[in-house]
A and B are shown apart, each in its own frame.
Chain A
Amino acid sequence: MTRWFIFGLVLVLSACADSTIIPLDREFSVPTLSNESSLDPLVREQYRERHRILDQVLASERVSDADKAQAYGQLGKIYHAYQRRDEARSLYRAAHLMDPGEARWAHLLGAAERAVGRLPASDAAFAAALKLRPGDAALHVYLGQNGLDQGQLEDARGHFEAALLTDPRCARARLGLGRVAMAEGRFEAAIEQLEMARDESQGSEILYLLSTAYRQVGQGETAASLLDLVDTSYLRRSSVKLRDPLLAEIQGLRRDANHYEHEGLKAIGRGDLRQAASDLRRAIAMNSERLEARHNLALVLVRLGRRDQAIEELRQVVKIDPGFAPSHLSLARFLHQEGELEKAEAHYRQALTLDPDSTEAQQGLAELFAKAPR
């Protein structure tokens, strides 16, 4: 089956601007949790609990709008935490309309709208929150970023400057001013702002943008030296932080790799190795790049007598990141014990190359040569 179309353009475009918070329509309904059986059990329980509370609140006759808003909003946060942003948006919107005097629902609605690229709607929500919390630096920064992304440079500048009035050391606001200047082609001004931002943070965004700005004004050597400092790794790069307790709380709700790794470490601490292995495996399944989790899982597996699996796990670590010294060392030690001397030597040497001060690697090599002189 093939589809083919003639695509003449319709010259009348539908209006797509969405600059106001859309009221709830009559058909608004609470999202249904659709894929319960496939969810992680802890995640499923989080959803269920919040759905249960909301159901109770809605069923009750003597509940204030603020309480209803609380129930909607808290459920929205769970959906938000697991990146189901459409559900989160509708729940936050419900919460905001139920309790328009509570800034956090508008704040979270703004964040959820931004995450799906609905920037005018995000602007409206953040602006509503800002009216309730005048001078909030994080809200000004978000509005400034929205302005930048929509090419509204004057608005963006105003918000970044307002954020700095509240928090003069806000590196994200300073970075924003640098971005505005870059967008305007005022590279000297950008350098000035970005150098001030750099005083507060060594985030890669600042360093890279600064490098670009220096390149544009002909200072190639400075640009190159800054470029050397930029961390371009996808997951582990440093970035400029913005203090936003509300969004931090959303992050904290996630029962994700971080959570399971933490639980795994706690299980190791109390000696429950089977639970530790289970939690660490869960963390790795959620994020295969959790090198520390993989490394710790290997150590747990050895203690559980599963040496082959441990060695395989360590091999995975050094395959993903050949520069991860602890796993080279552990791998060397286990291979040494298994009598695979050449492979052990290679990993001892690699560990020593990565960490020349490693006494364990030095000792390991010494023992290896003592037992198997050449």
Chain B
Amino acid sequence: MDRTAELGLAFTHRNGMTGELFFSEMVGSGIALLDYDNDGDLDLYVVQGGALGSPSAGTLATDRLFRNDLDPTGADRVERLHFTDVTAESGIVGDGYGMGAAVGDVNNDGWPDLYLTCFGGNQLWLNQGDGTFSNVTAESGADDDRWTTSATFVDLDRDGRLDLYLVNYTDFSLTNHRSCVGSDGAPDYCGPRTYRPEADRLLLNRGDAVGLRFLDVSEALGLNAAEGPGLGVVVLDVDADGWQDVYVTNDQEPNHLWMSRGLGDDGLPILEEEGLVRGVAVDSLGRPQASMGVEAGDVDGDGDTDLFMTHLQGETNTLYTNDGQGMFLERTTRAGLAVDSIAMTGFGTALFDLDNDGWLDLAAVNGEVRIIAAQRAAGLDLPLRQPNQLFRNLGGVFSNWTAAAPALGREAVSRGLAVGDLDNDGDSDLVVSNNNGPLEVLINEVGSRAHWLGLRLVTREGRTALGAEVRLYRQGQPVLLRTVRRSGSYLSSSDPRVLFGLGDHDAIDRVEVRWPDGERESYTQLVAGQYHELKQGAQASSR
């Protein structure tokens, strides 16, 4: 049933296609979940495409910011969960050909800011704390006119200021557009190798009391020498050394793992690309794959962070499990994730505890990149549609549960996926962006049946503690590891709060936090079934 009116989320993505089969039109766009007004619930920023080619392609709608007006006292879900389009009031004019969105508090004022990646110039919007944003792209030096896909904020030099990692794709532009054909000679979308790959970019935050300033250190840190058609990015601490590492998925090229090695004499972070030697650049047979979306999480419950990524039809999606030392083995087949992904081209993906049983389940949203002849024959406007998928984690081995969640299995050209607890009921909901199609919001009705614990972690300065690792200990139960993370998936930014699924057991012994600066703290007497705010150096408070 279409309940758009009740929910207040009216959004349809437009990719601006004209029949020319421009490479950029099938890439899609993403979503960001952020509490822009700091009222305790997740608001929604949805990235729009745009016009491509001639002006006759038309003027298209812009990005939208939807405020969550969650009313916890509402009698039913529709009364409780409602969104209002506040784009105009916010001052944000996301009118570029949008790709993705990253969220982070770049000036440490306690308000989440927004970075928008585009096919064209990117934008940094500073949250003024009064419901409005201001465009500080030019004066902050955060612009990049190359084709940026994903981006993420990460404090790579541990100076308490969020730096910005930009994933760039290829040098495709409307002026170097090429006509490509499929294997049967029919016109089709080009692949990434038709164009030159671009290098990623790292902007160090050197802002001070005078103003916001980003310093491009890509050349100095060796990023420019590592070109790759990048699409996804996730931040994780691969080797548990307390420094945040960056993993980037490349389309038909080996993926990159930038290991943080502390600071050099010049005060710049030291990054070393170690994807191949750590076993996460290529699949178990040494083959680079067409990697799109990526997620990080403790899939097998052994206390370290594993990596999962989505791939092109004909390849499997891939799971790399961490041995605890930061070396990985591909375990896709053993985990039951190989076979069902072969026929799909995956993009957004999420590891989240669907049923709050303590194991991270998996969603992958799909959509082809090459035209499906039967769909073209049927007259579909964008003949790339595939169903999305849901896999339930049964203790380190996954089972395909898509059939049990019919809403996920509908065919669309899905691209972005963000995860967050939109209705604050203690389980993870999903937001899916569809290329040239309507936004989809999937409200989880399963997780809240089990026990849970929600945590919002903030640093001493009051900033969301991105990168903080949280371990939950219970009598007779395995330790659960979760990380404060917005990055991952594809072109999207998710809820940074930590949700622990506790299953049938609501007793919690303690929670241990390793803060981004390495400090460790332990918390007891946390009550299940609610969110708590953990502030570094202070007692927990309910929220």
Contacts and interface: CB of A to CB of B under 8 A. Distances in A.
Interface of A: 1-11, 13-14, 16, 32, 34-35, 38-44, 81-84, 86, 115-117, 119, 148-151, 179, 182-183, 204-205, 207-209, 212, 215-216, 224, 227, 230, 232-235, 237, 254-256, 285-286, 288-289, 319-320
Nearest to B77: A6
Given A10-B403, A232-B276, A288-B193, A2 B10 contact: yes
Contact of A212 (B181, B329, B373): B329
17 contacts: A1-B4, A3-B441, A4-B3, A4-B9, A5-B443, A7-B406, A7-B408, A7-B442, A11-B404, A34-B377, A39-B184, A41-B185, A150-B339, A183-B333, A183-B334, A215-B327, A232-B254
A51 to B, nearest CB: 14
Contact of B281 (A34, A117, A232, A255): A232
Interface string B329-345: 10001101011111100
B442 to A, nearest CB: 5
B405 A2 contact: no
Contacts of A119: 339
B196 A319 contact: yes
B178 A288 contact: yes
A35 B377 contact: yes
Nearest to B11: A2
Contacts of A16: 400, 403
A237 B254 CA distance: 13
Nearest to B399: A13
Contact of B339 (A42, A117, A319): A117
A237 B407 contact: no
A117 B340 contact: yes
B333 A151 contact: yes
A79 B342 CA distance: 19
Contacts of B180: 285-286, 288
B374 A86 contact: yes
Q: Which of B277, B373, B443, B445 has the most CB of A within 10 A?
A: B373
Contacts of B186: 35, 38-40
Interface of B is mostly: loop
A148 B277 CA distance: 24
Interface stretch (B113-121, B142-150, B285-293): B285-293
B12 interface: yes
Contacts of A34: 373-374, 376-377
B376 A224 contact: no
B195 to A, nearest CB: 9
A321 to B, nearest CB: 11
Contacts of B401: 9, 13
A13 B407 CA distance: 15
Nearest to A151: B333
Nearest to B195: A288
Contacts of A205: 285-287
B487 to A, nearest CB: 24
Chain B interface residue number, banded: 35 or more
A233 B430 CA distance: 36
Given A2-B438, A13-B401, A205-B286, A320 B329 contact: no
B455 interface: no
Interface string B426-461: 000010000000111111111000000000000000
A176 to B, nearest CB: 11
B306 interface: no
Q: Which of A7, A11, A13 has the most CB of B within 10 A?
A: A7
A184 to B, nearest CB: 10
Contacts of A256: 183
Contacts of B336: 151
Given A3-B2, A7-B408, A84 B443 contact: no
A285 B181 contact: yes
B185 A286 contact: yes
A255 B183 CA distance: 8
Contacts of B314: 115
A22 B82 CA distance: 48
Contacts of B438: 1-3
Contacts of B400: 16
Contacts of A179: 284
Interface string B1-24: 011100101111000000000000
B179 interface: yes
Contacts of B446: 7-9
B403 A234 contact: no
Given A1-B12, A3-B2, A84-B373, A10 B404 contact: yes
A2 B4 contact: yes
A4 B179 CA distance: 37
A209 B286 contact: yes
Interface string B180-192: 1111111100100
Q: Which of B179, B181, B277, B341 has the most CB of A within 10 A?
A: B181
B279 interface: yes
Nearest to B251: A234
A116 B343 contact: yes
Nearest to A32: B377
A43 B338 contact: no
Contacts of A286: 180-181, 183, 185
Contacts of B284: 179, 182, 208-209, 212
B282 A232 contact: yes
A289 B180 CA distance: 12
Contacts of A116: 342-343
B445 A3 contact: no
B211 to A, nearest CB: 38
Contact of A4 (B185, B287, B440): B440
A41 B184 CA distance: 9
Contacts of B341: 117
Contact of A3 (B77, B182, B279, B439): B439
A254 B183 CA distance: 8
B355 interface: yes
Contact of B445 (A8, A115, A233, A254): A8
A276 B54 CA distance: 34
A145 to B, nearest CB: 11
Contacts of B444: 7
Contacts of A6: 77, 407, 442-443, 445
B253 interface: yes
B11 A232 contact: no
Contacts of B440: 2-5
Contacts of A215: 279, 327
Q: Which of A35, A44, A82, A116 has the most CB of B within 10 A?
A: A35
B288 A9 contact: no
A208 B286 contact: yes
B184 A40 contact: yes
Contacts of A149: 316, 333, 338-339
A255 B185 contact: yes
B38 interface: no
B522 interface: no
Contacts of A14: 403
Given A1-B12, A4-B3, A10 B406 contact: yes
A5 B193 contact: no
